[in-house]
Amino acid sequence: MKRFDYLIVGSGLFGATFAYLARKKGKRCLVIDKRSHIGGNLYCENIKGINVHKYGAHIFHTSNKEVWNFVNSIVEFNRYTNSPVANYKGKVYNLPFNMNTFYQMWGVTTPAEAEIKLEEQRAEAKVTLNGREPQNLEEQAQLLIGKDIYTILIKGYTEKQWGRSCKELPAFIIRRLPIRMTFDNNYFNDKYQGIPIGGYNKLIKGLLENTEIRLNCDFFKERETLTALADKIVYTGAIDEFYDYKFGRLQYRTVSFDTQIKDIPNYQGNAVVNYTEREVPYTRIIEHKHFEMFGTTINECPQTVVSYEYSTEWELGMEPYYPVNDAHNNILAEKYRELAAQETNVIFGGRLAEYKYYDMAPVIEKVFFTIRALEL
């Protein structure tokens, strides 16, 4: 009899949630992580009393009441509402595209006026296409929203995000755009959203309470020894690495951060400000205190912490963030998924193991599904 039922490779949201639910079913779990901390990319670093999202901003949102009740049973979530703004050459616009945006763009004040303006813009794009389907992101975006908003709020940001011209990006990336004919700056349509009170570390610690954890533990350096400890593996790392890059390496976009302490209580007045002009090198600035401090409490902390976010091409040794959704990588990923589907003692889960971009709530939903399928 092996010492553990499950060896869980990675202490991020998938691994931590699996460990929690499996332990509730009486299963013995060992969680390992090659980093020096738990939580994966959810990890927060406390700087000047502020929980800094070390690997980029994470905002929990869902319409699934079961998921919302689950995370709140671990730690209570606050009322943070994601309402980012865009800065283009010093002028600020609300996101997502709504009546505030249309007023800032064109001076229109009613939904009827905004619809007329949008149709004028779309008509221009239709003339340019002359009956053919959009061939790239630029053509698709202008057909959906028109030239003005595309040029000011989409083009530069998207090109920085993906490191290539919008004319080189496939149309399907932007087949849908959120357009609201209301003065509503709430970015998400989900029923529930917020941030754990006290930061995401509290959520992960709660999920991993009473579970054995080994940090600074690289699965691939001790693969044989670690595998021998458990009946099954829950793997949340890169799927191509698991198979020793048998078909080649998958590609990613990555993000780097320049995090700075500012000697003022409030730097930009919002958690997220996107910089949409191409000439500004960073894609956005995150001011972390706004995730957990509201109203007058912002000024109670005399300093603030901001992170300038830069999107770059991923290279070996960098942290992989976003799967590259193109034909080459999709074909390659499917080959690896076919291998994974044949495994009887390995469960692959999460962004890297499935080569799929996930928000947090769907990760938890996937764990729920996996646990139920295992009939633990």
Give catalytic residue positions: 176, 180, 253, 284, 309, 357, 359
What the block records as the tokens of 190 is 């989900």
**CA gap 4, 17 in Å, rounded:** 17
- Is the peptide bond between 178 and the residue preceding it cis, with omega within 30 degrees of 0? no
Gap between the Cα atoms of 66 and 71, Å rounded? 9
What the block records as the tokens of 236 is: 């949340």
Give Cα 376 to chain centroid, integer Å.
29
191 CA to centre of own chain: 18
Tell me how far apart the alpha carbons of residues 60 and 16 are, in angstroms, rounded to a whole number. 16
Query: Is the separation of the CB atoms in 13 and 74 below 8 Å?
Result: no
Q: Parallel, antiparallel, or unpaired for β 284-287 and 272-275?
A: antiparallel
The phi, psi pair for 82, rounded to 5°, reads: -75, 115
277 contacts 156 by C-beta, under 8 angstroms: yes
Mapped onto helix, strand or coil, the DSSP state of residue 204 is helix
